[in-house]
A and B are shown apart, each in its own frame.
Chain A
């Protein structure tokens, strides 16, 4: 009889894990809290993915299609785990859907519950939700996904746009000391997209460090050299209202100009990633560790980043920390391999 494996969370990591397990002939139960698959990339309508600007649908859409049509995968939409018990080496799990509870026994479990976008309203200095023209990268990504590049306040094309990096990351005031890894590259990508869409629009990026790690650096240099994006060292201290329906960014250009107050038509906050309430919830339900950053804690961050501290429960994707989509997909495969091995060994 085939193995039964539970995957919790249907984002890039969970989808890839489910698809790979299904290909091995495993009976996969995929539990998804939303009414659709694809996780945050789908929810916020990511349009083009860095580094090669390929349509997000080529990646996410492809995975969803495979999960929905590949057979062997039972998808539970708008569902959650309501009860979780160890049964020898196996697990008795109650899956709660909108209309019923289903009790199933699994050989192993993969947790891929993902992340939440940091809510910039939590940091008052950015005036998010106070001014219509202050948005964040997920808002812009969704707007661009809907082919809507204009200023929220008046529907006009922006004459200049500021990107502000490290919003909700690397800041002890909001409780997140870590770097969210992808926001620099996403901002650079979006800056290029804005410049391509509105060649007359000036685009600034305000940074403390720019962390376009590895090959993502290509995109950063391209933004500067081919798209004339202005890169200014200095974190923004305050955003306030300016003349002619603008928003003023106040800060210090620590390398060149000293203090500045620049009015912008639009400000885009590069808000980071958080473990979200789902991380602590699943940690309690499944009895697996939570780290000091609010993400799920791997047994060994270097040797076995895809293992939880509980035998038979594996981790994949951004639930263990900020991550690019490609890394999440890789981890989905790694967790699938480990969950499969565990299931086969203990059958």
Chain B
């Protein structure tokens, strides 16, 4: 959100209009945006509404206003406050989906490499790496105190002696700590194809160029093996 010294947005209104049009052209838009009488059921049931200045009713109303300025104001922080639990969509009497609108707007932010998207995705870079390069999600060596504060005081113990603890699991595992499960090179190559075709690699490149480089090195290695 760039503003000049007078507090006026310096983002050209044409650009804001373009963002709005991109959202409106999304194939899900018609399904997610219907009538709204401001009954507030969505916001009344919204979990993040308890903690943040975030209201699914406002998301839908902004979208229905067709005012590019209002939609632009949500692109920075607002859209990232949503938990994507879709309670709003479950209870809206009109069958609107404010959570779905958030998904559309987030995808635009990620595709276009907005600063807000970069900031939010930064903590997920390790997950993105494991997922896209190895076809894994969470591996034992990712369990480190800094990244899992919500695990409480036992995280310190849980993150030590991983190799031994892994071996102690009373069932066959890979017994390694850098992978959660073994993925065959053929499967990984197929995954890379999917990520190429669907534009996932492109998105990562725009959001986190250095992460993209690390991933591409691994991809090249696997592909040439």
Contacts and interface: CB of A to CB of B under 8 A. Distances in A.
Main secondary structure of the interface of A (DSSP, over half): strand
Interface stretch (B32-40, B114-122, B216-224): B32-40
B95 interface: yes
Interface string A234-278: 111110000000000011111000011000000000000000000
B34 to A, nearest CB: 9
Contacts of A53: none
Q: Which 3 A-B pairs have the closest CB atoms?
A: A252-B40, A237-B44, A237-B45
Contact of A235 (B39, B49, B50): B39
Given A235-B41, A237-B41, A237-B45, A254 B57 contact: yes
A238 B40 CA distance: 12
A209 interface: yes
Given A237-B45, A238-B45, A173 B91 contact: yes
B44 A172 contact: no
A233 B49 CA distance: 18
B93 A259 contact: no
Nearest to A208: B39
A250 B57 CA distance: 15
A125 interface: yes
B95 A235 contact: no
A42 interface: no
A171 interface: yes
B132 interface: no
A233 B40 contact: yes
Contact of A253 (B40, B42, B49, B95): B40
Contacts of B37: 208-209
B137 to A, nearest CB: 32
7 contacts: A125-B45, A237-B91, A251-B40, A252-B43, A252-B55, A252-B57, A253-B40
Contacts of B91: 125, 173, 237
A221 B162 CA distance: 70
B94 interface: yes
Interface of B: 37-45, 49-50, 55, 57, 91, 93-95
A260 B91 CA distance: 17
Given A125-B45, A234-B44, A253-B40, 6 more contacts: A173-B91, A208-B38, A208-B39, A235-B39, A251-B44, A259-B43
Nearest to A165: B39
Nearest to B50: A259
B62 to A, nearest CB: 15
Contacts of A237: 40-45, 91
A260 B95 CA distance: 23
Nearest to A169: B93
A170 B41 CA distance: 13
A234 B93 CA distance: 13
Contacts of B42: 237
A259 B49 contact: yes
A250 B40 CA distance: 10
Q: Output the residue of B40, B41, B49 with the most chain A CB within 10 A.
A: B40
Given A237-B45, A259-B49, A254 B40 contact: yes
Contact of B93 (A173, A251, A254): A173
Contacts of A236: 41, 44
A168 to B, nearest CB: 10
Nearest to A254: B40
A259 B44 contact: yes
B135 to A, nearest CB: 39
A235 B40 contact: yes
Contacts of B44: 234-238, 250-252, 259-260
Contacts of B50: 259
Given A236-B44, A250-B44, A254-B57, A172 B95 contact: yes
Nearest to B56: A252
A94 to B, nearest CB: 43
A250 B45 contact: yes
Contacts of B55: 252
Given A259-B49, A259-B50, A171 B40 contact: no
A172 B57 contact: no
Contacts of A233: 38, 40
B94 A251 contact: no
Nearest to A207: B39
Nearest to A238: B45
B38 A254 contact: yes
Nearest to B88: A237
